[in-house]
């Protein structure tokens, strides 16, 4: 079991999102009041490529443990700074498979769709931070650490302190694709 450390929402397309006391997840849409709410893709770059694509980025999750990692490299990063809706603790988000269900609090259920592809805006926020969120695995493959994306299956309110239960999909573990 993991837990929710913080929740964030922003109605505008800004890089960082302000903290909120709670957020409401809406099935098939995302976070109520957030700029990325919708059935179709809302990410501005991806929208320009294909505005009719399904929104696989309804809820952005980031592991708090990344903040400790980049702090050791000289970067002060707090929940919401990197644009996530939900900051988690105690779950290896990057090790989850696509299709993993996350039960947030008493009601909400989201399904993991893939990795967030970090972009240059991270360096606009803090110069050099993009490189600090990237790594290489033992085989030399690039590891992107800037969170994961998901869709909302069952709506509900999510608050800091809520528990997170992980339900992996059937079958062998699969790596997360970029979404």
Would you place residue 118 in the very low, low, confident or very high pLDDT band (cuts 50, 70, 90)? confident
Mean pLDDT of the chain: 95
pLDDT above 90: residue 76: yes
Q: Which two tokens stand for residue 68?
A: 């400790």
* pLDDT at res. 131: 94
**Distance between CA atoms of residues 39 and 24, nearest Å:** 16
The reported pLDDT for the residue numbered 47 is 80
Percent of the chain exceeding pLDDT 70 equals 100
How much is the average pLDDT of 119-148?
Answer: 93
C-beta of residue 35 within 8 angstroms of C-beta of residue 12 = yes
Q: Is the pLDDT of residue 176 over 90?
A: yes
pLDDT number for residue 120: 82
Over the stretch 20-29, which tens digit does the pLDDT of each residue have? 999 999 999 9
CA–CA gap between residue 27 and residue 39 (Å, rounded): 10
Domain ranges of the chain: 2-167
**Cβ-contact 115, 123 below 8 angstroms:** no
- CATH code for 2-167? 2.40.33.20
Report the phi/psi class of residue 28: left, alpha or beta, with left for phi > 0 and alpha for psi in -120 to 50.
left
Condensed to tens digits (0 to 9), the pLDDT of residues 82-104 reads: 999 999 999 999 999 999 999 99
What integer pLDDT is reported at residue 31 of this predicted model? Answer: 98
Task: Tell me which range, 50-59, 84-93, 113-122, is most confidently predicted by mean pLDDT.
Answer: 84-93
Which pLDDT does position 45 carry in this prediction?
Answer: 79
Pairing label, strands 86-89, 59-63: parallel
């Amino acid at each position: 079991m993991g837990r929710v450390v913080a929740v964030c929402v922003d109605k505008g397309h800004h890089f960082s999102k302000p903290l909120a006391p709670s957020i409401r997840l809406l099935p098939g849409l995302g976070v109520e009041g957030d700029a990325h709410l919708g059935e179709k893709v809302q990410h501005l770059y991806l929208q320009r490529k294909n505005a009719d694509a399904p929104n696989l980025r309804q809820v952005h999750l980031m592991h708090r443990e990344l903040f400790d990692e980049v702090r050791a490299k000289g970067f002060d990063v707090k929940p919401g700074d990197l644009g996530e809706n939900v900051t988690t603790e105690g779950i290896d988000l990057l090790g989850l498979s696509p299709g993993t269900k996350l039960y947030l609090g008493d009601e909400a259920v989201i399904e993991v769709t893939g990795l967030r592809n970090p972009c240059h805006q991270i360096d606009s926020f803090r110069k050099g931070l993009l490189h600090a969120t990237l790594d290489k695995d033992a085989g030399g493959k690039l590891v992107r650490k800037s969170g994961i994306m998901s869709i909302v299956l069952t709506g509900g309110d999510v608050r800091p302190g809520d528990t997170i239960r992980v339900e992996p999909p059937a079958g062998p573990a699969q790596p997360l694709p970029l979404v």
